[in-house]
Every structure is written in C-alpha cells, then in structure tokens.
Amino acid sequence: NAGVTQTPKFQVLKTGQSMTLQCAQDMNHEYMSWYRQDPGMGLRLIHYSVGAGITDQGEVPNGYNVSRSTTEDFPLRLLSAAPSQTSVYFCASSYSMDRANLPLHFGNGTRLTVT
C-alpha cells in the first residue's frame, strides 16, 4: 500500500492564481481531511469528508473548496490564492471517525508559497 499520497510536494503561486492539491489513499478509508500547518498555530482542519459525495467545513474553510467523487480521492482547491494561504498542507485519512480510537494517516505534505 502506498498509504496517503499528496501532490505536488512544493508549489509557488502568485496572488490570484488557482490550483488544486491532490490527495489519494489506497486503504479504503471512509474519512479524509485536509489540514494546514503554520508556525505557532498547529494543525488546523480546513475541510473533511466522511465518505464519497459527502464533504463538510472544518475550522478554517474560507478560500478553499473540496469534493469527494470517489472513496480514494479528496482534492483541495484554492480558488484565488492569497499570501495568507502560504502554509504546509496535509491530507489525512482514517477508516472511520465513528470509531474515535482509529488514528489519522497523514500524507507527506504540500509546501505552498503564495507571493
């Protein structure tokens, strides 16, 4: 199993550009989520999905869209990039969040810089 795969690893955008961060998992996990990690702020939840066709907002959803057309894929779209979105983005998945003891599996992250 590859686990959770994120692409790209690094990205530089100009203000106003749009892009999609890709996330795929091959563990048949129901639950997928996107976090951003900033110095001194910890990991903050952007959006999450409890299954194909179902998405919901996390703590910091503004400026981001998600979709979940398949169990495996959960892309994150930046609609119009802003410097405040400069961050490290992590995709994470779990078999099910209904069972609270199941840990999240993280991808290796995407380091995004918006100039």
Partner 1 sequence: GQNIDQPTEMTATEGAIVQINCTYQTSGFNGLFWYQQHAGEAPTFLSYNVLDGLEEKGRFSSFLSRSKGYSYLLLKELQMKDSASYLCAAPGGATNKLIFGTGTLLAVQP
Least distance in Å: CB of 55 to partner 1?
Answer: 12
Q: Report which of 97, 92, 94, 95 is spatially closest to residue 109, judged by C-alpha positions.
A: 92
Identify the residue whose tokens are 């692409």: 7
Task: Choose between 80 and 108: whose C-beta lies nearer to partner 1.
Answer: 108
Out of 59, 70, 80, 96, which residue is the one contacting partner 1 (CB under 8 A)? 59
Within 1-115, strands assigned E span: 4-7, 10-13, 19-25, 31-38, 42-51, 54-57, 64-66, 76-78, 87-94, 105-106, 110-114
Report if residue 58 touches partner 1, rule: CB under 8 A. Answer: yes
Report if residue 97 touches partner 1, rule: CB under 8 A. Answer: yes
Q: Report which of 83, 74, 62, 69 is spatially closest to residue 15, judged by C-alpha positions.
A: 83
Q: Between β-strands 54-57 and 87-94, what pairing exists: parallel, antiparallel or unpaired?
A: unpaired
Out of 1, 10, 14, 103, which residue is the one contacting partner 1 (CB under 8 A)? 103
Report if residue 101 touches partner 1, rule: CB under 8 A. Answer: yes
Site for partner 1 in 37-56 (CB under 8 A): 40-45, 48, 56
Report if residue 106 touches partner 1, rule: CB under 8 A. Answer: yes
Binding site residues, partner 1, CB under 8 A: 33, 35, 40-45, 48, 56-59, 90, 97, 100-101, 103-109
